[in-house]
Structure 1
Amino acid sequence: MMRFLMLTQTFPPAVGGMQTMMHALAKGLSSQSPVFVYTDRYSRSSGYKVCYWPMIKPLRALMKCMRLGMTLRRDDIIICDSWKSLAAVPASARHVVVMAHGQEYIGHSQAKRQRVQSLLQRATHLIANSQATLSLAQSAYDLGSIQTAVIPPTYGIPASDLDHHIKQDHTMRLLSICRLEPRKGLQHVVEVLGALKHCTDFEWSIVGQGDFSSSIRAMIEAAGLSGRVKLLGYVNESDKQQLLQSADVFVMPSYQEGHSLEGFGIAYTEAARYGVASIAGVDGGVSDAVIDGFTGWNVDPLDKKALTAVVKEALLNHERTAQLGFNARQHFNEAMSADVVMEMFRQHACKVTVTH
């Protein structure tokens, strides 16, 4: 029987997008196959077995490697959460999948490039979260005979069975859920909305925390938007779902800042599940999550004229915005829901054992 052995430095109880994704992947795979998770700290299992080592970091990879070497079977598939976890892969491993997320392939020094290139030689397959991420990895490193695939990282987001959102009034409700930092592009939206505030009726709820929150608050006040824009900070899952269900447009026109960018953009797909169109950026892998003109808009937030045109269309053309939201949910259900991407991963796993 095929077994999955997951080597990860990013796993619950730590909080974050990669942690959530790896947990969802482990849980999904365990419904049909045995799954063993080798992680750095204790975590409650959910249908899979967890092995962890509470020791200093330099020794963790060594212990994982030794343990795997003793228990590894011929047809086992090792899944590494990133190239860093390849350091714990034993030499006897035949099937090794490494996950690629995006910015971990940007801005490496020469010494680090040599280390990453050496570790990648231990992988037989690479699964990227977007076409842009795959292109980053291919342009930065010689992948040689490594087989590649692109699978959306939405392993934990089920298909939508929600009723279609029907507006009860003319107020357009914008929503942003993200860490508050400049590269999310919200400050540029504040500037645009300040100029449009007399053109239409809208409300904007911003969920998230970060060092940029005080700056955003000051910009909102300076633009005369204090009565229309709410900085909500942290919200629980129930409140988050209510906000998504009542939203008309999801707003996060992110861009690359230095070595930081969106490798995919899970937040856009969460909005799509609720039938909400997104205003997204153009950098990184967001064009895999949001299809320009079909499930939302892709726009460079640094281009004020272009951003203004998109925001204006989203606010004033209610029928168009609703249609894009309808398309977004349909596309999510058909191409990105948990059952769909888990099946894509399983099919790729079968190819892993056949080709090596």
Structure 2
Amino acid sequence: MRILVVTPDFPLWDGGISTVALEWSGGLHRLGHEIVVLTPSQDPGDREFDRKLPYETIRLRNVKARHAKTLYHAWEAIRLCRQRRFDVIVATVWYPSGIAAYCASRLGGVPFVVMVAGNEILHRRFQTPYWMGWMRRVFSGSSANLCISEAVAEKFRSVLGGREDLGGKIRLIRLGVDPVRFVTPRTGSPVAARFGLEGKKILLTLARLVERKGQDKVIEALPLIKKEIPDVRYVICGRGNDEARLRRIVAEKGVEGEVVFAGFVPNEERGAFYDACDVYVMPSREIPDKGDIEGFGITYLEANAFGKPVIGGRSGGISEAVIDGVTGLLVDPCDVEAVAGACIRLLRDPDLAGRLGRQGCERIRREFNWDVICGELADILGGIDAPRSFPAGGS
């Protein structure tokens, strides 16, 4: 198949959508499909990164204004589909990529599918008649709506009213990890040496710095953890608009000596951070007034792939990524004492931590291999037909 992947996020930009776009594109390419990625440029190093990929990546200008971005992405997708003959379009999110796919599909007759991660259908900025109309057009016009967890599928049904033309198109598609990256032999701990953490007990969160990820609750828990585990250190990897607030909390709690802000970590360096940590902790929570939710959580899987125990928040689709008491621990993400207790428990009990990490690693190899998942995705794509009709509006 000739597949056009339309995505607003792609490396070197970080985040879950970027990871999915990269892994889906690579996995489908390895299966013999011809891949073209259409995505904006968001980092000066993007084009150098693209040159190393085995498939074509077309970079757009990074337009910020919402309506202008929608029109621009749609026009470029239409133009590209007119120039080339694609069998299917894969959009990693309904806005702006799904709108672009819908427009290209409507004009060119190419079927499309859309991933549903959760946040993008709940965000309050889209809860207006105009944007809800577009959301319904996109999901009604798609051949399949790819929900990343059962929890996200339920949110999808509730937000869009359980319409038969939408609910009947739901397909569950799991997320995973790169098997090659996580079986490469590793020696030493360059992260510990780099940040002066030799001999310390390391907690790690590798995620965008946004409120729902829960870095704030781990920081607030550090004074409690430090009483029981004096040599604890918390490494925060990522970038985002919550950094200033997190730094203020660090100062307020007096834990400047225990927290390391490591900044953005490129894909090729992520493994070193997982390898260095003792426990991966990301107590993500739902932020209802912002429509913010953790639909699944790839980084839990990545940490498990390194044999590390994980701590997640009991919210959204996290319980499908973390099996409580088997691959990690689930806690009330708003309960600082619960977060502290889980961290202390795993740092104090290496046998428990090791068992959870090993079981998590075995589960990853068995169920969450990107190559297997991309095979399932290819089956979905291969089973759809060209669209015969489109909804006339958003009702």
2:215 corresponds to: 186
For the pair 1:115 / 2:128, whether they are aligned, the reply is: no
**Aligned residues of 1:278 and 1:297 also touching (Cα < 8 A):** yes
TM-score, normalised by the number of residues in structure 1: 0.84
1:332 corresponds to: 364
The change in CA–CA distance for 1:29 and 1:197 in structure 2 (over 3 A counts) is same
What is the alpha-carbon distance in structure 1 between the residues aligned to residue 79 and residue 243 of structure 2?
A: 45
For the pair 1:147 / 2:162, whether they are aligned, the reply is: no
Counterpart residue type for residue 23 of structure 1: L
Residues 87-236 of structure 1: pairs in structure 2 closer than 5 A:
87-91=102-106, 93=109, 95-106=111-122, 107=124, 108-141=127-160, 142=163, 144=165, 146-154=168-176, 156=178, 158=180, 160-161=182-183, 172-201=201-230, 202-235=232-265
3-state DSSP of counterpart to 1:243: helix
Once the two structures are superposed, what CA deviation does each residue of 1:251-300 show, in whole Å capped at 9, x if it has no partner? 11011222222222222222112111111112222222222111111212
What is the alpha-carbon distance in structure 2 between the residues aligned to residue 305 and residue 23 of structure 1?
A: 37
What is the alpha-carbon distance in structure 2 between the residues aligned to residue 62 and residue 221 of structure 1?
A: 47
What is the alpha-carbon distance in structure 2 between the residues aligned to residue 52 and residue 328 of structure 1?
A: 37
3-state DSSP of counterpart to 2:89: strand
What is the alpha-carbon distance in structure 2 between the residues aligned to residue 14 and residue 220 of structure 1?
A: 26
Question: Structure 1 residue aligned with 2:54, among 34, 44, 47?
Answer: 47
Higher helix share: 2
The change in CA–CA distance for 1:204 and 1:9 in structure 2 (over 3 A counts) is closer
The change in CA–CA distance for 1:349 and 1:253 in structure 2 (over 3 A counts) is same
**Aligned residues of 2:303 and 2:310 also touching (Cα < 8 A):** yes
What is the alpha-carbon distance in structure 2 between the residues aligned to residue 323 and residue 90 of structure 1?
A: 49
TM-score, normalised by the number of residues in structure 2: 0.77
**Aligned residues of 1:248 and 1:322 also touching (Cα < 8 A):** no
For the pair 1:7 / 2:32, whether they are aligned, the reply is: no
**Aligned residues of 1:69 and 1:90 also touching (Cα < 8 A):** no
Once the two structures are superposed, what CA deviation does each residue of 1:12-41 show, in whole Å capped at 9, x if it has no partner? 565543233213322221221122334456
Structure 2: unaligned runs, 5 residues or longer: 190-197, 389-395
1:344 corresponds to: 376
What is the alpha-carbon distance in structure 1 between the residues aligned to residue 249 and residue 79 of structure 2?
A: 54
What is the alpha-carbon distance in structure 2 between the residues aligned to residue 66 and residue 139 of structure 1?
A: 35
For the pair 1:322 / 2:329, whether they are aligned, the reply is: no
What is the alpha-carbon distance in structure 1 between the residues aligned to residue 188 and residue 129 of structure 2?
A: 55
1:82 to partner: Cα distance: 2.0
What is the alpha-carbon distance in structure 1 between the residues aligned to residue 267 and residue 90 of structure 2?
A: 29
Counterpart residue type for residue 153 of structure 1: L
What is the alpha-carbon distance in structure 2 between the residues aligned to residue 230 and residue 52 of structure 1?
A: 34
3-state DSSP of counterpart to 1:144: helix
Counterpart residue type for residue 30 of structure 1: H
1:248 corresponds to: 278
Q: How many residue pairs end up in the alignment?
A: 352
CA RMSD of aligned residues (A): 3.4
2:77 corresponds to: 64
What is the alpha-carbon distance in structure 2 between the residues aligned to residue 235 and residue 98 of structure 1?
A: 28
